[in-house]
Structure 1
């Protein structure tokens, strides 16, 4: 009926291939955000092979299993913007929201959907926006509840998982279906990570069958050998083990479907970049009021917020050579915040005009860093230069360029390459336990709606994600609806690595660094290891540094894959 336009008409998660025997073509498609994975290998004379897992492609003897060093550079530099390549050379991904036609003449890719960064939704009132959000969000949850088996929901106590759990519970109760099961991580030893007051606020409303995972009794490396039976690529983040154990608990409780609040932060969006937008509009009174209110609600330093977002505005004006506007902004910032005019002009005006290549040479000459490339400190300098990772970052990663509007910032966040990569990984984590994860925040309609909202629906009177907070009134407990921030998992990562996984950690540093010395600065990694194990203060950035090194060494040791 719709032919090759059919993906445009679909909602939900999908990846499929259809053989058209009349046209002698293979038509392939992947869903809008990439919930379902699609990998393929193509070589003229050998054919086109596709699968939902990379390991399936290697079942064919002519598919090579070679390490993709460009992907290694991306991983070590924390730049995962490429939506096509994988850890293996010539094993590719069909990007989200794309179709692919395979024929004797080759491969043709087409994008069938994209978010519109220019569309703005105008409604009559805050209440109208809240009601519209509630309707779309409720429908996003409703259409993901269909199941012949009990349904579970991850419940962390945050806004996202709590909203999904509360709406799903309400819908199931109205339909007279069985109760919803909730699955939560709790922390008895590392109490600064524990969110039980918020979890309990949801449970006290009734209608849930709770299950708990003691998440401080295992570390980030505790399950890695089992995970790599299913996961084909190097793991991503240091919190990967939490969904793995939650899924294990869901499987043991008899679930087939689990609801997940993945990345509601980016979908609804915090909107803190509204501060830059207000500065750009010259609304300095509103700028200060929002910054101070946000600081009060979330426990941040108002001075740090004001300085950061006002200076982002200055850098943008300098790069645009708008010197009259720059001078006016300098006057306002000096007048209101007491920052030196000379400092603002030199450091955030003239310096912004210096080409990045000159800055690199200057830093190298002054020995302010070890590398001539502005990448993560773990990257081996020679490897970075050989791959050209600096140029690759400049071409693919635009995160260092300040956004002039909240919507532009929001659109950039939703367009990140890391987004589908995390979804692909979670798909394998769910499949390992015969579960299907459903992500209401990945609903196409909700994505389009949230991006189109005016900025004051995202940040207002110091409250981020305002439209969700208003929309979930009388559904969420007030303790959750108006909570500021959430627990940081860093302390439990450190506890797990240095207490529960210490033997593996030390073994990698002592015996396995030769596996990664071509990719990372192993001397730097040893320094971080000494700092973390000496009993001193562990810096937050140390966690990601050691995680990258450890997981890459363990993965290469297991797979023995080479370029």
Structure 2
């Protein structure tokens, strides 16, 4: 976790070092270990360094190549280092002294803008290419690292890791974006570009951008192959393959020159990450792994059902951990609220940020600079309910009935009612659209469902002044945001990827990253590993939901 800033004056005026300095001063909390600027006429890049990986101890950014024609600033952790070093034939220094930013720059030299496809990890970077007189910017597949920018055609393009740095420049406007206010009130999170400031935008996750004097070109840089279905010979092979990919997703996020921590809630996701990370560190002689858990003893005393400490303690009891417990019931939800909002540059819809803030504070106090998080295994691995519709679509009706019956028995809850599982999750989703429209007509309803049906359920109530909504054309904007003419043809894999890449997770990751940065922590998310996402999306029906248990493949992989 570091900070990047940059200025490209499209009108040709020179960048002043003081301008970059102003921007970097506002981001001092993100990088206490290094400060650097690079300027060449109308272009300037800046960087603040937080050492995390062993290689980062040797990095000095911004970095220019030997010709001086290319320069990079980056907040990046590249996970396929060995592969890239071999492909790029970098042999002029020991591997441990090759920084991740140098790998990105060399990849750009070799593959140009297609280099992003080759990068695994979390990154936000900008490369000045003097030969093209353009700035190339890119962001990782899930948007773990952040990139904000302001663009004034013919005048200036500026970017930074946080909005507050952009606002240090006097020509960047400070105008409220009323559409973002409306989205917050609904709430709606699927606008992945707008911010609360007019004309200050996000570079969306999985996108790259080329900026020149003739304008901006925005492109999607990566998306999973949604046509691929993994075919292995047995359930055991699927289990072992998942375990291998998941273990590697954790392993590469343990690369650190400092103590590593893991958030441990007692749930399946954080427990799985913590167990694998603890074992890997022990095997390398780098333990113990610090675990950080929020607990509510006073509330648990009143309602023991909510107490997850037994699950946390069962993980810690395996050994190799240094456990730290944060008594969240002693902390006010309003604690340090002004400092939190200063760091976030945004509103907060989650009322539990105070709890995460306290965890990050404890991790910092115990010397950690890397903290593993369990976001969002539920979505990446998936509960597997979509498998029921797949069974119905493929004519495996007996399998549908058996899995529905087993799920109703093994995990009893209202949504696991046998009839609802068979009908609502099994057969109903595969009914053709024209049949559904005909049934609606026979029932005296409109052929087309209410337009609100495309919105998330929590957004359908409108606590917004009608005149305000009309003035900002809210209904039109929502229709544009959620209307998908191909939705009737969407496959389960399409839906799975849409859930993973939704604006909800972009918003959550953004909040987490900034709260971590406030405590000089890099938050790393093994479930948001690109390879793991590709693997989980490619799984055939029957691997996520199996023998009446949701998220079966993760459960089976973690056994023993």
Structure 1 residues 245 and 352: alpha-carbon distance in aligned structure 2, compared to 1, 3 A threshold: farther
CA contact (8 A) 1:100 1:108 kept: yes
Structure 1 residues 26 and 149: alpha-carbon distance in aligned structure 2, compared to 1, 3 A threshold: same
* Cα deviations by residue, 1:197-227 (Å, 9 ceiling, x for unpaired): 1101101111100000112222433332220
Which residue of the partner structure matches residue 550 of structure 2? 464
| Greater Cα shift, 214-223 or 11-20 | 214-223
* Cα deviations by residue, 1:33-90 (Å, 9 ceiling, x for unpaired): 1100000001024311100000100001111111111112222222211111111110
* Cα deviations by residue, 1:256-295 (Å, 9 ceiling, x for unpaired): 1111111111111111232333444555543343233223
Structure 1 residues 348 and 240: alpha-carbon distance in aligned structure 2, compared to 1, 3 A threshold: farther
Show the 5 A alignment for 1:369-518: 375-397=460-482, 406-474=492-560
CA drift of 1:347 comes to: 9.3
| Greater Cα shift, 351-360 or 92-101 | 351-360
Q: 1:127 aligns with which of 208, 212, 236?
A: 236
Structure 1 residues 463 and 285: alpha-carbon distance in aligned structure 2, compared to 1, 3 A threshold: same
Q: TM-score, normalised by structure 2?
A: 0.73
CA drift of 1:420 comes to: 1.7
What is the CA–CA distance in structure 2 between the aligned matches of 1:129 and 1:89, rounded to whole Å? 48
CA drift of 1:144 comes to: 1.1
CA drift of 1:21 comes to: 1.5
Show the 5 A alignment for 1:21-420: 21-191=130-300, 192-281=305-394, 283-301=396-414, 304=417, 306-307=419-420, 310-311=423-424, 320-322=433-435, 351=445, 353-356=447-450, 375-397=460-482, 406-420=492-506
Structure 1 residues 461 and 66: alpha-carbon distance in aligned structure 2, compared to 1, 3 A threshold: same
Structure 1 residues 348 and 82: alpha-carbon distance in aligned structure 2, compared to 1, 3 A threshold: farther
CA drift of 1:186 comes to: 1.0
Unaligned runs of 5+ in 1: 328-344, 361-372, 475-563
CA drift of 1:381 comes to: 3.1
Query: Which secondary structure state, in structure 1, belongs to the residue aligned with residue 329 of structure 2?
Result: coil
Cα RMSD after superposing both structures: 2.8
Structure 1 residues 408 and 304: alpha-carbon distance in aligned structure 2, compared to 1, 3 A threshold: farther
Which residue of the partner structure matches residue 53 of structure 2? none
Structure 1 residues 240 and 402: alpha-carbon distance in aligned structure 2, compared to 1, 3 A threshold: farther
Unaligned runs of 5+ in 2: 1-109
Q: TM-score, normalised by structure 1?
A: 0.73
Structure 1 residues 358 and 190: alpha-carbon distance in aligned structure 2, compared to 1, 3 A threshold: closer
What is the CA–CA distance in structure 1 between the aligned matches of 2:236 and 2:452, rounded to whole Å? 52
Q: Relative contact order, CA 8 A, sep 6+: which one is greater?
A: 1
What is the CA–CA distance in structure 2 between the aligned matches of 1:357 and 1:445, rounded to whole Å? 36
Query: Which secondary structure state, in structure 1, belongs to the residue aligned with residue 297 of structure 2?
Result: coil
More strand by share: 2
CA contact (8 A) 1:30 1:96 kept: yes
What is the CA–CA distance in structure 1 between the aligned matches of 2:451 and 2:314, rounded to whole Å? 53
More helix by share: 1
